[in-house]
């Protein structure tokens, strides 16, 4: 009985800014986040990450330009399926980030990341990503807005 689902989450960044998208529908609606979604049965994690970037903001990223930077595991009170989110970061992309039905993309400087309009866990693990540390975090939510407990640690390698 599979009790976990794998997701991707991609952040395009350079030394000045990070690309986030405002989720316009579905899970995480009205929150700023990286780009991503479910990994389908017929694709690898990296293929899913690339597919979601294209679908959600019309940007092409190549496999070799995405770095695996972390893994986040989310459980929600009353939901037996754990979300296993594979986080990627990259600098190189092709095309222009464009709004779709899913996401409205926007570049943020690092001092203006809208944490109050993001998932509560983001402010806990973003510092690892922004300081180029590999990370592994586990977060349990008692409701969609409240983390009841969590653990995060730096990884030496992914």
Ligand X SMILES: Nc1nc(SCCc2ccccc2)c2[nH]cnc2n1
Give the residue from 23, 24, 26, 45 showing the smallest Cα distance to 34: 23
DSSP letters, 110-155, are GGG--GGGS-TTHHHHHHHHHTT-EEEEEEEEEETTEEEEEEEEEE
Give the residue from 88, 91, 92 showing the smallest Cα distance to 158: 88
Site string for ligand X, 25-64 (x = CB under 6 A): --xx----x--xx---------------------------
**3-state secondary structure (DSSP) of residue 123:** helix
Quote the CA–CA distance of 54 and 93 in Å, as a whole number: 11
Does residue 85 belong to the site contacting ligand X (CB under 6 A)?
A: yes
**Phi, psi for 135 (deg, rounded to 5):** -140, 155
**In this complex, which beta carbon is closest to ligand X, that of residue 37 or of residue 97?**
37
Minimum distance from CB of 83 to ligand X (Å)? 6
**In this complex, which beta carbon is closest to ligand X, that of residue 28 or of residue 138?**
28
Find the part of the chain contacting ligand X (CB under 6 A) among 11-19, 58-66, 92-100, 115-123. Answer: 115-123
Minimum distance from CB of 7 to ligand X (Å)? 4
Minimum distance from CB of 111 to ligand X (Å)? 19
Quote the CA–CA distance of 158 and 140 in Å, as a whole number: 22
Do residues 8 and 34 lie in contact, with contact meaning Cβ atoms separated by under 8 Å? no
Find the part of the chain contacting ligand X (CB under 6 A) among 42-50, 60-68, 89-97, 116-124. Answer: 116-124
Does residue 119 belong to the site contacting ligand X (CB under 6 A)?
A: yes
How big is the site for ligand X, counted in residues (CB under 6 A)? 13
Chain contacts with ligand X (rule: CB under 6 A): 7, 9, 27-28, 33, 36-37, 74, 83, 85, 119, 121-122
């Amino acid at each position: 009985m599979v009790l976990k689902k794998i997701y991707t989450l991609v952040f395009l960044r350079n030394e000045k800014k990070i690309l986030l998208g405002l989720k316009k529908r579905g899970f995480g609606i009205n929150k700023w986040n990286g780009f991503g979604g479910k990994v389908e049965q017929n694709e690898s994690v990296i293929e899913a990450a690339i597919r979601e970037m294209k679908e959600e903001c019309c940007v092409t990223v190549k496999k070799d330009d995405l770095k695996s930077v972390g893994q986040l595991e989310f459980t929600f009170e009353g939901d037996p399926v754990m979300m296993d989110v594979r986080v990627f970061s990259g600098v190189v992309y092709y095309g222009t980030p464009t709004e779709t039905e899913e996401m409205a993309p926007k570049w943020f400087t690092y001092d203006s990341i809208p944490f109050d309009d993001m998932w509560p866990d983001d402010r806990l693990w973003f510092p690892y990503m922004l300081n180029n540390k590999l990370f592994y975090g586990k977060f349990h939510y008692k409701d969609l807005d409240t983390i009841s407990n969590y653990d995060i640690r730096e990884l030496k390698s992914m």
